[in-house]
Chains A and B, each alone.
Chain A
C-alpha cells in the first residue's frame, strides 16, 4: 500500500524537479529581453510594447511554474523559531498538518476561483489591451490554473513523504529489536 503512494510521490517529485530546472533558465531570457528594451529605447529611440509584454510573460511563467519546485526544495520561508528545534518527526507532523489544512485547500480554492476567470479569457481568445501588444493573454492567464495544479501535486507528494517519515520513525521507536533506552 505504502509502496504505491511512495511511487506516486517519486513520480511527482521527478516531474517537479525537471520542470523547475527548465523554467529557471528563463530568468536569463528575462534579463536579456529587459536589456534589449533598454537598448531599443535609449539608443534606437523606439519602444516595443510587444517586447515589454514578453518580458512580463516570461517573468510570470518563471514564478508561477516554479512555486511547486520551490516547495520541493524547501524554499518557501518559514518562521522557524520553534520549528528548527523540533525532531525530524515533529517537523514532519507540522508539514503534514500544514499541507492538509492549508496548502491543499488553498490550491483547491485557487482552482475554483481562477477557473471561470481563465475560461472566460479563452472563450474570447483575449488579447492585450494595448493595440500593438501580444495576442496571447488567454495563454498567460492559463498559468493561473497550471500553478495551483502543479502546487497541488507537489503538495500531495510532500504530504506522502512526510507521512512516511512519521510512520517510519514511530515503527522504529516501537520496534522490539531496539533495546536502547
Chain B
C-alpha cells in the first residue's frame, strides 16, 4: 500500500497512451483510485474537498491571465500572415548567404514561437510555413526537417512563452512551500518574470549554437543548402524593414517591459496582444472572419490549458491523500548524491515523460510533486525552471518518440523519409545536450541575469 501513489502514476501513464484527452484521463483515473482507496480505507475523502478552492484559485489567479493573452498575440501574428511575410522577406534578404534560408527559419521561429507554448502547434505552423520553400530551394530533407523541428520547440524556452508562464507560476508556489518546510517564515519569492530573465541567456546561447551549426554544416556540405536561384535579385531594403521591424519591436517591447520590471507578464501580454491586433489591422489583414478565427482558437487553447490544470488538481489531491508527497520525499532522501542525485533523477524522469506528455501536463503534474522537495534540498528555483524547460525541449526532439518529430511527419510530404527527420534532428539534440551540460556546470548562465537585476 505504501507504493500505491507510484502505482497510480504508472496506471495514469498507461491510460494516457489510450488516447483519451489528457485532462479527463488524469482526473478520471485518479478518481477511480480514490474510490478504491475509500473502499479499502486508505483514502480520506476530506482531501477531495479541497478541489473547489483549487479551482477557484485558478480562476482568480491574475498571473495566468497571461496565458490567453500571449496565445492571442501569437495566433494573431500567425493568422494575419505577419510571420509568413517576415520569413519570406528575411530569406530573400539572406538569398546570397549559404544556409540563409535556414538561418531565417531559426530567427522567425525564435520570434514567433516565443508567444505560443504548445509544441505541436508551433512545429506544424513552422513546418507548413517553411518546409515547402526549403525543399524547393534544394535543401536536403534531413537538414530542412531538423532545423524546423528544433526551431519549432525553441519557443518553449525563449520568453515570453506560455510554457514559462505556467512553469513560473508553479515554481513560485513550490518555492514558498519549500521555504516554509525549511522553517523560513519570511520567504523569498520567485516570479514568472524572474524565470523569463533566467531563460534569456540560455535561450540566446541555444540560438547561437543552432546558427553556428547551420553555418558550419552548410559550408562543409554546400549541396545540402543551395543558394536561391533568384538570390541575386536584390530586395528592396524598405520591404525588409517594413516586414521585419514591426513584429520585432512588438516582441522586444513585450519582453523589455517585463524585464525592466515596468509591467507584469500579464500586462505586457495584454499590450502585446493589442499591438499584434493593431499591426494586423494596419496591414489590412484583419477581416471579421479572421478575427473570429483568432478569438476561437485562443479560447480553445485557453480552455484546454485550464482544464488540464483542473485535472491535474484532482490528481495531486488524490496523490497527496495517498501519502504520495511523503513517499517522493523519502525516496529522494535515500538517493545518493544529495541535491545533485535527486535533480539528475528528476531530469531523467521528466525526459522520459516528455515522450508521452506535453509541456503543460508535465508542469502541472510533475513539478508540483518534485519541485518543493528539490527546492528544500537547496536547488535554485530559477535554474531548476530553466533546466526543466530545456530538458523537455530536448525530449520533444529526441527520436524515435519526440513530439516534434511526429507533428512534422504529419505535415511533411511523403518524399521526406522518417529516417531523414531522425538524421536531421540528431545534431540539434547533441547541441541541446551540450547546453544542458553547460547549465549543469555553470548555473550562473541562468541565475546571473535575474539575481543581478533583482538587486
Contacts and interface: CB of A to CB of B under 8 A. Distances in A.
Interface of A: 20-21, 23-25, 27-28, 30-35, 37-38, 41-42, 52, 55-56, 59-60, 62-64, 66-67, 69-71, 73, 75-84, 86, 91, 94-95, 97-98, 101-103, 105-106, 109-110, 113-114, 117-118, 140-141, 143-144
B24 A106 contact: yes
Interface stretch (B46-54, B78-86, B185-193, B439-447): B46-54
Interface string B23-65: 1110111011000000000000000110111011001111011
Interface string B305-326: 1111001001000000000000
B59 A20 contact: no
A83 B104 CA distance: 35
A52 B65 CA distance: 11
Contact of B270 (A24, A31, A62): A31
- Pairs A-B, 10 closest by C-beta atoms: A102-B28, A83-B19, A34-B270, A98-B20, A76-B21, A117-B52, A60-B59, A75-B300, A66-B303, A70-B303
Contacts of B292: 21, 24
Given A69-B300, A102-B29, A106-B311, 16 more contacts: A21-B292, A24-B298, A27-B298, A28-B295, A31-B273, A34-B269, A64-B306, A66-B300, A69-B299, A75-B301, A77-B361, A94-B19, A98-B24, A102-B25, A144-B56, A144-B59
Contacts of B298: 24, 27
B271 interface: yes
Interface stretch (B2-10, B123-131, B134-142, B260-268): B260-268
B18 interface: yes
Contact size range, B: 35 or more
Given A27-B72, A59-B68, A106-B314, A79 B306 contact: no
Contacts of A24: 292, 295-296, 298-299
B379 interface: no
B54 to A, nearest CB: 10
A94 B20 contact: yes
A66 B49 CA distance: 24
B347 interface: no
21 contacts: A24-B292, A35-B270, A35-B274, A55-B62, A62-B302, A63-B299, A63-B305, A63-B306, A64-B306, A66-B302, A66-B303, A70-B303, A79-B19, A82-B19, A97-B20, A98-B18, A102-B20, A102-B31, A106-B27, A113-B49, A117-B53
Contacts of A118: 52
A35 B271 contact: yes
A105 B31 contact: yes
A52 to B, nearest CB: 7
Which of B16, B274, B277 has the largest number of chain A CB atoms within 10 A?
A: B274
Which of B29, B296, B298 has the largest number of chain A CB atoms within 10 A?
A: B296
Nearest to B270: A34
B114 to A, nearest CB: 18
A70 B307 contact: yes
Contacts of B17: 79, 81-82
B404 interface: no
A91 B270 CA distance: 39
Which of A28, A56, A102 has the largest number of chain B CB atoms within 10 A?
A: A102
Contacts of B267: 34, 37-38, 41
A103 B28 contact: yes
Nearest to A143: B59
A59 B20 CA distance: 26
Contacts of B118: 77
Given A34-B69, A69-B299, A113-B48, A105 B18 contact: no
B271 A38 contact: yes
A38 B270 contact: yes
Given A24-B295, A27-B68, A70-B303, A77 B308 contact: yes
Contact of B60 (A56, A75, A114): A56
Which of A77, A91, A141 has the largest number of chain B CB atoms within 10 A?
A: A77
A103 B24 contact: yes
B377 interface: no
Given A31-B72, A75-B304, A106 B31 contact: yes
A76 B304 contact: yes
Contacts of B304: 70, 75-77
Nearest to B357: A79
B312 to A, nearest CB: 13
Nearest to A98: B20
Contacts of A106: 24, 27-28, 31, 311, 314
B60 A101 contact: no
A4 B311 CA distance: 32
Contacts of B72: 27, 31
A86 to B, nearest CB: 7
Contacts of A56: 59-62, 65
A98 B65 contact: no
Given A37-B267, A59-B65, A81-B356, A31 B277 contact: yes
